[in-house]
Structure 1
Amino acid sequence: MIRRATPDDVTAVTGLIYDLAEYEKARHECTVTEEQIATALFGDTPAAFCHVAEESGKVVGLALWFLNFSTWDGVHGIYLEDLFVQPEFRGAGHGKSLLTALARECVDRGYSRMSWAVLKWNTPSIEFYDSLGAQPQDEWTTYRLSGAPLAALGGR
């Protein structure tokens, strides 16, 4: 079953984010707290949204996303920040069902696109995305500014 996350899911969602960080070999970089997730998803001005996959009453996967905006199309899109299904529940269609729910959000709301990033070594995910008809954006290079360089540029 795929559904929108509720405040009761914050602990499970936070746990899945840490599981994803472990899978991506970057657990040491993950510092998010349940309070931050609760505020981001359910605060006065939510910054992000989340769908969860549930099996037998247990949250086993998530799609955490936020809105972006296309200046060329003049409408919003969805940026999928995290898609993760616990390994023991993979192969049952949860990942595809989560993406289907987000595609439905796009279609229903008139959003023009859904985009995300995938690690180059994550062959199973790349093959899955290819099977859905998703197109890699190889002509673009993603940049990130964080930590000390971000603070320096921001004058702090």
Structure 2
Amino acid sequence: MPQKTPTADTVLRPGTIDDVETIYAALLRLGAHIGGHQEIKSTAKDLRRYGFGERPAFSTLIAEVDGEFAGLCVHFPVFSTWMGRPGVYIQDLYVEDRFRGRRIGEKLLRRVAKDCRAAGGVYLRLSVDTDNETAKAFYERLGIGWANYEQVQKIVGDAFFAFADAPEE
């Protein structure tokens, strides 16, 4: 087992278009880790287009240890009409296996939360794969609890297209 070093050598920086292949590879590893790799339909080209185009749909924060990719946090702004304030949604949080235990995931989340707060945000949302007990415990340890008053609903693929394309009554 590799020896863990202090986190002082961890650098957090915004992802750039030059990082797209690394980001995509990390997302594939995340999908494999949670057993959902077959659900990933995106491509590196999609990430390049929608994350780094004229109107980026998401932002990426990358963690590096001694210049080596260690993890990432993909996020985007959200707004609560009930709170009347903005927040941030964490889409993906990933830390390379060899860098786990160095609080890199926590550092990524805290930086995104800090940036959100600086922009007037008051909350952070994310969802967790129902079978990912390790992630659930990690978030609970950080004080990011499960919202027992709501559940995520979604419609995707052909069902979404049929719904969106149906005539309005």
Considering the TM-score relative to the shorter chain, is it more than 0.5?
yes
Instruction: Tell me how large the CA RMSD over aligned residues is.
Output: 1.3
Distance in 2 of aligned mates of 1:46 and 1:148: 25
Q: Percent identity?
A: 29
For residue 155 of structure 2, what is the aligned residue in structure 1?
145
For residue 4 of structure 2, what is the aligned residue in structure 1?
none
Structure 2 counterpart of 1:104, from 106, 114, 121: 114
Structure 2 counterpart of 1:38, from 43, 48, 53: 48
State TM-score, norm by structure 1. 0.94
List, as ranges, runs of 4+ consecutive aligned residues in structure 1 with deviation greater than 2 Å. none
State whether structure 2 residue 102 is matched by structure 1 residue 92: yes
State whether structure 2 residue 83 is matched by structure 1 residue 83: no
Offset of residue 31 of structure 1: 2.3
Give per-residue Cα distances to partners, 1:36-73, cap 9 Å, x unaligned.
Answer: 11122211111100101111212121100111111012
For residue 15 of structure 2, what is the aligned residue in structure 1?
5
State TM-score, norm by structure 2. 0.87
| 5+ long unaligned stretches in structure 2 | 1-10
Q: Which moved more, 1:94-103 or 1:143-152?
A: 143-152
For residue 116 of structure 1, what is the aligned residue in structure 2?
126
Offset of residue 148 of structure 1: 2.3
Which secondary structure state, in structure 2, belongs to the residue aligned with residue 53 of structure 1? strand
| Amino acid in the other structure paired with 1:98 | L
For residue 26 of structure 2, what is the aligned residue in structure 1?
16
Offset of residue 22 of structure 1: 0.7
Structure label with greater radius of gyration: 2
| 5+ long unaligned stretches in structure 1 | none
Offset of residue 125 of structure 1: 1.1
| Amino acid in the other structure paired with 1:97 | K
